[in-house]
Amino acid sequence: MVRPWGKDEQGNVIEGKLERTSIPVPELGPGEVLVEVKGCGVCHT
């Protein structure tokens, strides 16, 4: 399982209400790669 931050299935975030959720790791198809992101920044402007 991966644990992304998000609010709904489409990834829309409601202002000030982030939730940590669990989703299954997707199965990869031919020519696809899975990238692990260690950090991310968010601009609030």
Whose tokens are 């992101």? That residue is 37
Predicted local confidence at residue 40, as pLDDT: 77
Predicted local confidence at residue 29, as pLDDT: 96
Predicted local confidence at residue 30, as pLDDT: 97
Say what the pTM is. 0.38
Total number of domains in the chain: 1
Is the pLDDT higher at 43 or at 5? 43
Predicted local confidence at residue 25, as pLDDT: 85
Predicted local confidence at residue 26, as pLDDT: 86
Q: What is the pLDDT of residues 6-37, one digit of tens each?
A: 556 666 665 556 667 777 888 999 999 999 88
Range of the domain at 6: 1-45
DSSP output for 11-42: ----TT--EE--BPPPPP-TT-----------
Which of 41, 45, 44 lies closest to 5 in space, CA to CA? Answer: 41
